[in-house]
């Protein structure tokens, strides 16, 4: 069974930083691209970042570029999102999600971790 | 960026009745490889999104056959032939031909 378990969320002050983690199991982690998608309270879904299966290629949305860094450790089956210079508008549930193949199809999602940016 | 527009924003359906959601794209989602990169997801209350349909009309594993997808180019539709109580939630379309973007969502409730 494919499982993605996020952790690391919490309350952080504006300008602060956090590192989110996503522990994967039930599939060959090193064979899949992984995405971060966020959802602000009561709002829709926004693709934030993605990383290729080998970690060499990454993508970050313009709204987070330079502030968020995605990385992965295939030896630990774990994905990371370092988020910094946080703003109130970064408040959201952050989901990690598995890319099925190179098409961009996302087939499985984690349960999410809530990041709240507030003073 | 490709913009996906979903209609309606809200749908109230009697159990057993059909439902239909439209997703319109600002650009064609037909790739030169012949595939169309449009997907549908359902986010049930308090849960993460789950994949229903991929590449316009293919049901994902375990998805009931009352769900069907159709369309081409820039116009797509998700249909539920007979809505059940467990189908409540917010439905999103998503495209992946150019980065990844989601529609704004359609909330479905049971009357």
Residues 8-67 of A with CB under 8 A from B: 35, 37, 44-47, 50, 59
Q: How confident is the model at residue A84 (pLDDT cuts 50, 70, 90)?
A: very high
Of A47, A59, A106, the CB nearest to B101: A47
| E strands present in chain A | 3-7, 10-12, 18-25, 34-39, 45-51, 58-60, 68-73, 78-83, 92-99, 106-109, 113-117
The closest alpha carbon to B70, from B12, B9, B20, belongs to B20
Partner A contacted by B28 (CB < 8 A): no
- Which DSSP helix (H) or strand (E) runs through B74? none
Residues of B in contact with A106 (CB under 8 A): 39, 51, 94, 100
- Would you say B26 and B38 are in contact if contact means Cβ atoms under 8 Å apart? no
What pLDDT does A53 receive? 96
| Residues A46-63: tens digit of each pLDDT | 999 999 999 999 999 999
The whole-chain average pLDDT of chain A stands at: 97
Interchain contact, B51 vs A50, CB within 8 Å: no
Residues of B in contact with A59 (CB under 8 A): 99
């Amino acid at each position: 069974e494919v499982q993605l378990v996020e952790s690391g969320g919490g309350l952080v002050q504006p300008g602060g930083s956090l590192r989110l983690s996503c522990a994967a199991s039930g599939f060959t982690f090193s064979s899949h691209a992984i995405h971060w998608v966020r959802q602000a309270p009561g709002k829709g879904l926004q693709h934030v970042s993605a990383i290729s299966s080998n970690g060499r290629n990454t993508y970050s949305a313009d709204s987070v570029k330079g502030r968020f860094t995605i990385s992965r450790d295939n030896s630990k089956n774990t994905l990371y999102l370092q988020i910094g210079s946080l703003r109130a508008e970064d408040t959201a549930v952050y989901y990690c999600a598995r890319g099925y193949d190179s098409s961009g199809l996302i087939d499985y999602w984690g349960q999410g971790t809530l990041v709240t940016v507030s003073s | 960026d490709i913009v996906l527009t979903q209609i309606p924003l809200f749908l109230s359906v009697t159990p057993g009745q059909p439902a239909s959601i439209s997703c319109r794209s600002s650009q064609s989602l037909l790739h030169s490889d012949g595939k169309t990169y449009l997907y549908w997801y359902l986010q049930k209350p308090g849960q993460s999104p789950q994949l229903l349909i991929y590449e316009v009309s293919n049901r994902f594993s375990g998805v009931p056959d009352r769900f069907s997808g159709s369309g081409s180019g820039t116009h797509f539709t998700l249909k539920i032939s007979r809505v059940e109580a467990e189908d409540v939630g917010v439905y999103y379309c998503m495209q992946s031909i150019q980065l990844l973007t989601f529609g704004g969502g359609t909330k479905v409730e049971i009357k």
